[in-house]
Amino acid sequence: MTDAVSITRDLVRCPSVTPADAGALGVLEDLLKAAGFTTHRVTFSEAGYPDVDNLYARIGSEGPHITFAGHTDVVPPGDESAWSVGAFSGEVRDGVLYGRGAVDMKGGIACSVAAVLEHLAANDGKPRSDGKGSISFLITGDEEDVSINGTIKLLQWAAARGEKFDHCVLGEPSNVETLGDTIKVGRRGSQSGTLHVEGLQGHVAYPHRASNPVPDISRLIVAISDEPLDHGSAQFQASNLEFTSVDVGNTANNVIPGQARARFNIRYNDNHTQASLRELVETRLAKACGNRIRAHIVWEPSNSNVFVTKPGPFTDLAVSAIEEVTGRKPELSTSGGTSDARFISSYCPVIEFGLVGQTMHQVDERVPVADLEKLTKVYRGILARYFA
């Protein structure tokens, strides 16, 4: 069966908890091969990380080239006894399909595949009636964990083969309350670090022989995070720096610790680059330390840079297709966390539009069958407009 509900069910029945594939990519590969796609199963490796299977499939050899991206890996189901149905059953009850990945994001992938198959069937097996145009799929099994051997390497592999993408639709669950309310057109960047403050360990009864880093790190936390990083931009909310833990590694109540550490994360907008952001925080730290406090920041490597797909013909045709099917004009949003769109944005403009994300990662993750059918129609509308 090539409808979205059947494809979602078949994918959900593959227990593809990262990095396991469990047959999920095979389900898609079989469907796409039968429709005339050239497919490639690509496995990437890196020392210290599990090998990951990925799938690239393309039909057509000319532009314009639209690619649908997504991931078939899922988070663990948690306590399976707490589920109303089997976590990997794909069971439909009262018009709702249950299972881990139904929303995030096997359902979105299923809708894009079903839409593409319907589009090709209506065009004699071609992306466009005149024979031009290309459609492809970039599917990874490494999004829910470290994202080392997935989309970022699949894109590099495709680029090395001469593949060029004009636009991308990523089927992540972008909608907040109801299908059609939100298109994600960008994401803030993410940068983490650890603030280290040096002291001098000693006995609490003799504080003059020690240097307590706890009051110092408290002052520095306030100095670094109290003043806003910015006030937002045209398409992004304000950047924010949040301290997430403070630790001195001390179990004794009569010992002044020798060091204190505080971890933090920054979600930043297009007012900053990664380099300028680090410089801003380091400048605040130096000013607050003066000549007395000894402190430094250890920055964590980050590939979560800020990006935005600005409004234009591509976003316009997506909005039009969504409004036609759902009756809603979606908001173009840059809110939320990170996704593989941060990698894709270096290769082509990308938007995220998928299902409603309210139950993703939860027990009894589920999607109304009606939403799967509507999302398929939206993708059909995008394809029709794209190749018009």
> Which are the catalytic amino acids?
73, 143
- CA pair distance 362, 286, nearest whole angstrom: 43
Q: Which two tokens stand for residue 231?
A: 């006030």
| CA 20 centroid distance within chain | 19
3-state helix, strand, coil in the chain (%, to 5): 30, 25, 45
**Phi, psi (deg, nearest 5) at residue 96:** -130, 130
Does residue 69 sit in helix, strand or coil? strand
- What b/e string do you get for 116-145 counting C-beta neighbours within 10 Å, with b at 16 or more? bbbbbeebeebbbeeeebbbbbbbbbbbbb
Structure tokens at 236: 């992004």
Structure tokens given for 373 = 């059918």
Measure Cα distances from 223 to 283, 303, 331 in Å. Answer: 11, 27, 36
- Integer Cα distance of 216 and 203 in angstroms: 18
Is the peptide bond between 50 and the residue preceding it cis, with omega within 30 degrees of 0? no
Tell me the residue length of the chain: 388
How far is 314 from 308, CA to CA, in rounded Å?
13
Please name every residue paired with 3 in a beta bridge, in sequence order, or none if there are none. Answer: none
- In whole angstroms, what is the distance from residue 276 CA to residue 282 CA? 10
Separation in Å, CA 172 to CA 11, 15, 70, 269:
15, 19, 7, 21
Q: Which of 343, 339, 270 is nearest to 310 (CA)?
A: 270
Selection from 382, 374, 380 nearest residue 181 by Cα:
374
Exposed/middle/buried for 160, CB within 10 Å: 0-12, 13-18, 19+?
Answer: exposed
